[in-house]
Amino acid sequence: MKAIIGITSWDASKRELLDLARRMDAGEQLPVADYHLNFATPGELLGELPPKRLATLRAIKAAGAVSIYALARGLGRNYSNVHADVRRLIEHGLVEKNADGRVFMPFEDVIVQVEASLLEAA
């Protein structure tokens, strides 16, 4: 399963959710879905996932289950800043903690999709 991060309007999300609900109500067998995290604007996406936070996510993916201390050391960043980034990544469902308190990314990959036309509007 992948995590797909993108930009979409509430109207588009609502249409997709209503379609999904209709398919489920009709008894359609649905495949395992990817995790989607959408923001309304490019500014919101970059506000929640700035470059250093995305670098933290990449480092977690590369390391596997890792302590926040080891992660901060590997990134050459302050522990409290990395801890704050990890907390936000957990809140967004992109990172999880195991029983040992180590953080890991539960997805095969994370894809950030931004249409060029949305960037022009920003």
Model pLDDT for residues 31-60, shown as the tens digit of each residue: 777 898 999 888 999 999 999 999 999 999
As a CATH number, domain 2-121 is 1.10.10.10
Of the chain, the percentage scoring pLDDT greater than 90 comes to 66
Distance of alpha carbon 48 from alpha carbon 52, whole angstroms: 11
Distance of alpha carbon 99 from alpha carbon 17, whole angstroms: 33
Domain locations in the chain as residue ranges? 2-121
If phi > 0 it is left, if psi is from -120 to 50 it is alpha, else beta; for residue 6 that is: beta
Query: What digits encode the pLDDT tens for the residues 98-119?
Result: 999 999 999 999 999 877 555 5
What are the CB-based long-range contacts (under 8 Å, 24+) for 11-14? 13/38
What is the structure's pLDDT at 116? 59
Q: Tell me which of 108 and 12 has the higher pLDDT.
A: 108
What is the structure's pLDDT at 32? 79
Q: What is the mean pLDDT of residues 73-81?
A: 97
What is the structure's pLDDT at 81? 97
